[in-house]
Structure 1
Amino acid sequence: MNKVYFAVVGIRNFAAEHIKFIKQLENEGEIKLAGIVVEDRRKNFDLEKKFKKEGVEIFYSYDDLLKNARDFVDVITLPTAIHTHSEMAIKAMKYGYNVLLEKPPAATVQEVDKIIEAEKETGKFCSIGFHMIHSRSIRKLKEIILQGKLGQIKEISCKAIWPRYRSYYTRNEWAGKSIYNGHIILDGPINNALAHYLNNMLYLIGPSMNESIDLETVRAELYRAHTYIETEDTSCIEAKAINGTKIHFYVTHASNKKLDPYMVIEGTKGKAYWDFSEKTTILLNNGEKIEFDNEGIDPHLEVFRIVAKKHLGVIDELYSTPKNSRPFVVAVNGAYDSAEKIVPIPKNFIKEYEEENEYKTVLNNIDEIIDEAFEKKVLFSDIGITWARATKEIKVKEYKSFNPFLKKDA
């Protein structure tokens, strides 16, 4: 059996997850960990020693890997900072490697377009690590939508509440930043921790199995409750796709309660309900009920399996690509353009305190606010929330560039 040899840039944090997934899959015979980039040798001495004993080649810089691994590395994985994604992916493809790039593909649509162009120029591929559109439940749900069982999709909505504390925002130098070292990064829930669930919706209503839907308009509100970060931590988005479907998204990192992502799809012939466990229920108007889950398949592992199959020529198309991730980036960039600024929540609506060795930030009643907005399919300002600020709808159909320093017309 042919093997696909992977190299991971990094050894800690999410790079450690990439390494773990690859090692889990080695027993299947198709995938092998061939290299790791370790830049901080003192900090990672024990890990470096461990992997060397396992026969993994260690590189001490990204350039070292690019220049010296072409004979035995097929795919480079980039679980790196958001602002590095575009440049590092393009550089790898120009050196002749295929790439697995962590989500989001980039912070701006113009960076994504550069990745797409580099794929064309080099003939190499760049898979994006949106693992949820590799999941069996999401792909089966899309098949059912494409078969027309739900009829025309009128609306698709998702809400999620994932508390994040100070430790989350001190995990690295760019966490919670909008701009870092002169680079746009947008490290908020819509572009990082909960990005998969916005991307899921755009993917599910795309016109074919591996396409996402382009957007016509976006209206969004972006808020900040954590007093020590730059980016948004509480957001709502209302978008309209080019096929007329309305998309609604509600998220926060400023709650004391956790609510895992929950999605509702409304069609002319029925409704579908999907939750974070991947339990999916479809209720059709004719009385038919369809239920399924992920069949026990971990979507994180599927990301690597699909990359390997594409490299080996077993499949023609990747599941997640720069091209079908582009509508997601347009949605995020459009959200920032629509909101125009991240609105700080007045301190009298926030509680910040230490508890269980964590410094927590809680926005009063945000759980109930999200529930109400989700049920009514409106933004926070539409239901009269005191601290909410109304925003304008912007057109994004021909969206080419995002620059938060320029004011754009609708």
Structure 2
Amino acid sequence: MSSKTVKLLLVGIGGYGHFYIDGIEALADQVELVAIVDPFPAQALDWPTLQAQDIPCFDTLDAFLATGITVDLAVLASPISFHADQSCALMEAGVHVLCEKPIAATIPEVERMREVRDSTGKFLEIGYQWSFSEAVQNLKTDILSGHYGMAQCLSTHVAWPRTSAYYARNSWAGKIHNAQGAPVYDSPVANATAHFLHNMLFVLGETQQSSALPRKIRAECYRVNPIENYDTACLEVETEKGDRILFYTTHAADANDGPSFLYRFEGAEIRYEIGGDIVAYLADGSIKNYGNPEGTHMRKLDVCVAKVLDADGATTPICSIEAASSHTYCVNALQQIPVYTVDPAYLQVKEIKPGEQLTFIPNMGVHLREAFEQQKLFSEMNFPWATPMGAAVVVCPIHS
């Protein structure tokens, strides 16, 4: 290992940026945080500590780039609508990039990022942490080797409640476009629970570095909170190879449940429950334990730092555009289908604290698990709050 110290730029220190600050501190012998970009640093939990360290902070990325300060790696924890422009500007400035998920809001943005990455030779990794975990990497290796046979159906459910404070925390939460008119497509599928749809696409990719491409989607999207986009969805994805993926997600529950998944193959069932390990139960009665994919939350940062230090391996992707773009194809497809507002008669509101409410569908976590277990969409389960119109079918943009 080289004795070089990786000079790092962190873009966005509020929200998820806090976790990166912890990750940077854990790599203090390898990483030097030399600059920050954040328009509102004083609002961040870590600002007093960073300010005491005299780390320069800039309102915009352009202001930072104008200084000529040299960095090896940039970590982007900025809002979704900034991912493409900031990633491209940094790669063009000669900087490797670790960009938080999702890669971008739209497919044209993704393709621009691909062109800049390929023309500059800089790496662009996307922060789907499960993809960097040894558990998922080893599972994918076995799937690719044919160890479990052909995929039959991969399904995941996750209920993560989000209160009114979640939607009030910034100007784009739950929005289709931000205040400047740029697409955001914020939803549980696109943002908070994106990891778990992405993981199903990722493990079905034809190479270790790619994800399966979606062909068409049958889906239902619902709105419980007073937002533009949806906060609840179920979808059935058909991939180019004909694989079947089912995903159930909501912010309109009153308790956390999941993620839990069941990946069915010809020769095994692979299961995961939050807090546990990914375990394969083979048809011959044997069991293989892959470990917990959540155990190394910041391995994505560790990997990117190691890639910079080992220049010869810096271009070998872990979760780059070929892996991350399939999720964006799905998100863009879902924006083509109607969003149904759930009748208030089926809702309850819970006061979390003064000025903060949770709006939810009673027993929503149970409903998600029931649909997951029966491999049906909400309308097929005849839930009273679900639309009788049934699911809409849309061809993914990559095929249109």
Secondary structure at the counterpart of residue 393 of structure 1: strand
Secondary structure at the counterpart of residue 398 of structure 1: helix
Q: Which runs of 5+ in 2 are unaligned?
A: none
**Per-residue CA shift, 1:268-288, capped at 9, x if unaligned?**
111110223251211111111
- Residue 354 of structure 1 corresponds to which residue in structure 2? 351
Deviation at 1:364, TM superposition (A): 2.9
- Residue 345 of structure 1 corresponds to which residue in structure 2? 342
Secondary structure at the counterpart of residue 209 of structure 2: coil
Contact 1:156 1:266 (C-alpha < 8 Å) held by counterparts: yes
Deviation at 1:133, TM superposition (A): 0.9
Contact 1:137 1:278 (C-alpha < 8 Å) held by counterparts: no
Tell me the distance in 2 between the aligned counterparts of 1:267 and 1:175. 37
Counterpart check, 1:366 vs 2:360: no
Q: 1:104 aligns with which of 91, 102, 105?
A: 102
Q: How has the CA–CA distance of structure 1 residues 296 and 335 changed in structure 2, closer, same or farther, with 3 Å as cutoff?
A: closer
The 5 Å alignment of 1:148-187 reads: 148-181=146-179, 182-187=181-186
Contact 1:215 1:397 (C-alpha < 8 Å) held by counterparts: no
Tell me the distance in 2 between the aligned counterparts of 1:114 and 1:186. 18
Contact 2:237 2:244 (C-alpha < 8 Å) held by counterparts: yes
Secondary structure at the counterpart of residue 62 of structure 2: helix
Q: How has the CA–CA distance of structure 1 residues 262 and 69 changed in structure 2, closer, same or farther, with 3 Å as cutoff?
A: farther
- Residue 307 of structure 1 corresponds to which residue in structure 2? 304
Secondary structure at the counterpart of residue 173 of structure 1: coil
Deviation at 1:123, TM superposition (A): 2.1
Deviation at 1:224, TM superposition (A): 0.6
- Identity of paired residues, percent? 27
- Residue 406 of structure 1 corresponds to which residue in structure 2? none
Contact 2:270 2:279 (C-alpha < 8 Å) held by counterparts: yes
- Residue 403 of structure 1 corresponds to which residue in structure 2? none
- Residue 284 of structure 2 corresponds to which residue in structure 1? 286
Contact 1:103 1:130 (C-alpha < 8 Å) held by counterparts: yes
Q: How has the CA–CA distance of structure 1 residues 284 and 122 changed in structure 2, closer, same or farther, with 3 Å as cutoff?
A: same
Secondary structure at the counterpart of residue 22 of structure 2: helix
**Per-residue CA shift, 1:76-96, capped at 9, x if unaligned?**
211111111111211222222
Letter of the structure 2 residue corresponding to residue 18 of structure 1: Y
Deviation at 1:49, TM superposition (A): 6.2
Deviation at 1:246, TM superposition (A): 0.2
- Residue 5 of structure 1 corresponds to which residue in structure 2? 7
- Residue 390 of structure 2 corresponds to which residue in structure 1? 390
Runs of 4+ in 1 over 6 A off after TM superposition: none
Q: How has the CA–CA distance of structure 1 residues 198 and 245 changed in structure 2, closer, same or farther, with 3 Å as cutoff?
A: same
Deviation at 1:365, TM superposition (A): 3.1
The 5 Å alignment of 1:186-197 reads: 186-197=185-196
Q: How has the CA–CA distance of structure 1 residues 208 and 52 changed in structure 2, closer, same or farther, with 3 Å as cutoff?
A: same
Tell me the distance in 2 between the aligned counterparts of 1:170 and 1:392. 30
Deviation at 1:70, TM superposition (A): 4.2
The 5 Å alignment of 1:222-261 reads: 222-226=221-225, 228-261=226-259
- Residue 204 of structure 2 corresponds to which residue in structure 1? 205
Letter of the structure 1 residue corresponding to residue 302 of structure 2: R
Tell me the distance in 1 between the aligned counterparts of 2:154 and 2:43. 46
The 5 Å alignment of 1:315-354 reads: 315=313, 316-337=315-336, 340-354=337-351
- Between 273-282 and 212-221, report the one with greater CA deviation: 273-282
Tell me the distance in 2 between the aligned counterparts of 1:238 and 1:42. 43
Letter of the structure 1 residue corresponding to residue 281 of structure 2: L
Deviation at 1:37, TM superposition (A): 2.0
Deviation at 1:236, TM superposition (A): 0.4
Contact 1:306 1:318 (C-alpha < 8 Å) held by counterparts: no
Tell me the distance in 2 between the aligned counterparts of 1:164 and 1:336. 21
**TM-score between the two structures when normalised by the length of structure 1:** 0.90
Letter of the structure 1 residue corresponding to residue 278 of structure 2: T
Secondary structure at the counterpart of residue 179 of structure 1: coil
Q: How has the CA–CA distance of structure 1 residues 269 and 38 changed in structure 2, closer, same or farther, with 3 Å as cutoff?
A: closer
Deviation at 1:51, TM superposition (A): 2.8
Q: Which runs of 5+ in 1 are unaligned?
A: 401-410
Deviation at 1:212, TM superposition (A): 0.7
Deviation at 1:335, TM superposition (A): 2.1
Q: CA RMSD in A?
A: 2.1
Counterpart check, 1:16 vs 2:9: no
Q: How has the CA–CA distance of structure 1 residues 25 and 276 changed in structure 2, closer, same or farther, with 3 Å as cutoff?
A: farther
Deviation at 1:295, TM superposition (A): 8.6
Letter of the structure 2 residue corresponding to residue 344 of structure 1: T
Q: How has the CA–CA distance of structure 1 residues 119 and 385 changed in structure 2, closer, same or farther, with 3 Å as cutoff?
A: same
Letter of the structure 1 residue corresponding to residue 144 of structure 2: L
**TM-score between the two structures when normalised by the length of structure 2:** 0.92
Deviation at 1:171, TM superposition (A): 1.3
Tell me the distance in 1 between the aligned counterparts of 2:42 and 2:217. 47
Deviation at 1:166, TM superposition (A): 0.9
Deviation at 1:191, TM superposition (A): 0.6
The 5 Å alignment of 1:390-409 reads: 390-396=390-396, 398-399=398-399
Q: How has the CA–CA distance of structure 1 residues 317 and 368 changed in structure 2, closer, same or farther, with 3 Å as cutoff?
A: same
Tell me the distance in 2 between the aligned counterparts of 1:248 and 1:43. 38
Contact 2:84 2:103 (C-alpha < 8 Å) held by counterparts: yes
